[in-house]
Structures are given as C-alpha cells and as structure tokens.
Amino acid sequence: MRTIRANVPGSGFHEIDINDSTIVRSEVVGSERKDSLYCWSGFVDIQVNGFAGVDFGGNESRPECIVKVLEPLFATGVTSFFPTLITNDIETLARQLRCLEKTREQFPLFARAVPGYHLEGPWLSPGPSHGAHDPEFMRFPEWDDLEHLQEAANGRIRLITIAPELPGALAVVRRAKNQGIAVAIGHTDGTADDVYRAAAAGAMLSTHLGNGCAQMLDRHTAPFWAQLADDRLMASIICDKFHVAPEVIKIIARVKGLSNCILVTDAMQAATMPPGRYTIATTSAELLPTGQVVRQDRKSMAGSALTMDRAVANFRQATGCTLAEALCAATTNPRTALGCRAPAAGIAPGQPADLILFEADEDSVRVCETILDGKNVWKKMEPRLERGVGRG
C-alpha cells in the first residue's frame, strides 16, 4: 500500500491510497496547500507521430528504437498514448503496424502505455488541406484496406482520420463505428454537407480542428465552420502557440464546451530534440529555433514539438479555464471519447493508479513524478549541487 498526500485541483488536499495498480481510497483531508504538489490522472495523447528522435512512420523503425519514446513521454506526464501513422502506401503502413505490435510483444511497459493506434491517412484530401501528408500515397477509402491494416495491428487501430468527401468514405465511417473504431474528420476540402453526413454516419471527432485545412477559408462554406457547429463532433486541438491562435482556441472551447475539447500534441520526431532536420513519415521537416516544426519547403507545418504538459498550460492560458478543466482536456475527455480506462475526472477509488505529481502555476505545469499501474516510471531528479543535494 502506498499513500500519496497531494492537492487535487479544484477539490482540496487529499490522501490517496494505492493498492497494487488501483486507487482504493481518495479522501479530502483539508484545503489545498501551497507548499504541496498536485496530483491528477496521467495524460492521454491520441495523436503522437513520434517523439524524442523516434518516428513511428519511419522506414527503419525497430522495437528497440521505438521503445525509447517511453521515458521522455513519461517525463511530460503522458501515461497513455496512441502511436499515429500518417499517409503512406498500404503495405508500408501494414509493416509499420506490425513493428509496433512487435514492440508491444517485446516490451510490456510499451504495451501497457499504448491502448491502440491512430491511423491518420491515407484517406485524406490531396487538395489544399493535405499539409505534411504526401498526396502521392492518398487513395479512396476501402474497407478491405482498413481490414488489412487492422489485421496487421491485431485489431488495435482505435481511431481513424478521414476526409468525408472522398468516394466510399461514408460507408467506411459507418462500418468502422459498428466495429468499435472511432472516426475523426480531418484534412478535408469538403463541404458543410460532407461534414454533416459524416457526423450522421458516426464520425465523432475533428482531428486538430483549425489545422489540416486550406490556408484561405471561405467565410461561409468552409468545412471548419460545419465542424465547429456540429454538436456531434468533439474537437482535438494542438495548443503549441503555432498551429492555432489563442483567440481561435478560446472560440473552439466556447462553442464546443470544455468537456468536448481534447488536447493533442501531434508530436513528431523532433519533440524534446534540438533544432535541426527531422522526418515525419515520407516528409522532410525542420524544427526551428522558435520551436515550430515546418516542412523543408516551408509550405506548411509538419506536426509539432509540443509536449502535453505545455499543451495543458497553453490551453489554460488561451481559454481562462481552471487547472482542473485544462487537465480534463488531456485526460478525462480523450479517455471518454476512445473508451480508454478510467473515464472519471480527477482521482477516484477504483481507477487504475496512472497518476502524475506536478507543480503548477498560471503559466506552466511541471511534472515531478509519473506513476503507471501504481509503479513509479519516471521521477524528476533533484539537481546535484557542488556540496550535497538540493533544489536549484
């Protein structure tokens, strides 16, 4: 049995008992204490293309390479994430999924942290909204292709992003929903009616709303407005201060409601790495000194170098929401959307002990410890001073 004493944002100072991998007690024992850490459920990131030098869509990815993302992700508070494969040819995607499955087999901790996979393409628009995706590999949606990829993934494709205007898209949306695969709309150059038809067929999410769209939007007919207006669609948002302006984030949160906003990083190989050249699948990219990731030809962004702890802080600043509300956008909301474990907000008995301990103020979230299944998987080391050990 382990007992954690920490603030739970919006709830007070708690004593939290963990037995094996489960929270068995969470009791308020006082008001929040300024000199204590905060505690919350670990972050869930449903869109991770790569991290810390690893590209999940890279042709040379191997299990011993892929597993290296774990410690850097744990250091940012992420305890569950969805490796995301972007547009490529079908056989390459199948090979990459099989490699991810080998990683699960060889490294149980990776398997525990990965509930499933996100397939973002190849069923996207080759038009102005294609972004970092290579139109050469895009194709019309066919169920046989998805079935082939799902077989390679051992049934673990949990989310697909699709452009609803493509021939065959709505049939795939309906069938995916019936088989428990969540469907998101993204990288679309369709009409408002295309969006509404996809939502009626079972699409439930907009992938990185405000991105993956044409640079110039029609003020009346752009699919962005329909996605914003349709209450059946939740919205994922990249809050890195590059992809979406703070004003737009605030508008999305107001229209959708905070409980329907999901924070994603869209992180790629460059996340946590120094400025330089990187790749995301078939696309060459560059991490600029500003922190922005762009295609080498500078025609669009190419994923991000965002981490989830920063995303939470940026979302809070943009929307003016409470710390607890911002944390829910990175925990409760994605878990609820994709049926992951522990959909309850905050800390509650019966939940798995996937927790983070952190410091927070109005401008930042600083993870100090990450716990998965009741076991410590990352802890911030105190800086060593010349004489002894102490805080920097």
Residue 175 has pLDDT above 90, yes or no: yes
Mean pLDDT for the stretch of residues 65-93: 96
Using one digit for the tens of pLDDT, what is the confidence trace for 229-245?
999 999 999 999 999 99
Rg of the chain over Cα atoms, rounded to whole angstroms, equals: 20
Mean pLDDT for the stretch of residues 335-347: 73
Q: In the predicted model, what is the mean pLDDT of the chain? A: 92
Residue 349 has pLDDT above 50, yes or no: yes
Distance of CA 42 to the CA centre of its chain: 12
Q: In the prediction, which pLDDT does 131 show?
A: 81
| 176-204: burial string, b at 16+ Cβ within 10 Å, e else | beeeebbbbbbbbbbbbebbbbbbebbbb
Q: What is the pTM of this model?
A: 0.94
Residue whose C-alpha is closest to residue 50's, from 67, 34, 26: 67
Separation between Cα atoms, residue 243 and residue 211, nearest integer Å:
7
* Sequence-distant contacts of 131-136: CB under 8 A, at least 24 apart: 131/187, 131/211, 131/212, 131/300, 131/301, 131/302, 132/86, 132/280, 132/283, 132/285, 132/295, 132/300, 132/301, 132/302, 132/303, 133/86, 133/87, 133/187, 133/283, 134/87, 134/88, 134/281, 134/282, 134/283
Q: In the prediction, which pLDDT does 219 show?
A: 73
Q: In the prediction, which pLDDT does 383 show?
A: 47
Place of tokens 């100090």: 368
Instruction: Give the alpha-carbon dihedral of 382, 384, 389, 391, to 10 degrees.
Output: -50
Confidence band, pLDDT 50/70/90 cuts, at residue 115: very high
Which domains are present in the chain?
2-39+350-379 (2.30.40.10), 42-338 (3.20.20.140)
Mean pLDDT for the stretch of residues 245-261: 97
Residue 391 has pLDDT above 90, yes or no: no
Place of tokens 């038009």: 127
Using one digit for the tens of pLDDT, what is the confidence trace for 147-168?
999 999 999 999 999 999 999 9
Give the tokens for residue 358.
């952190």
Q: In the prediction, which pLDDT does 114 show?
A: 97
Mean pLDDT for the stretch of residues 102-124: 97
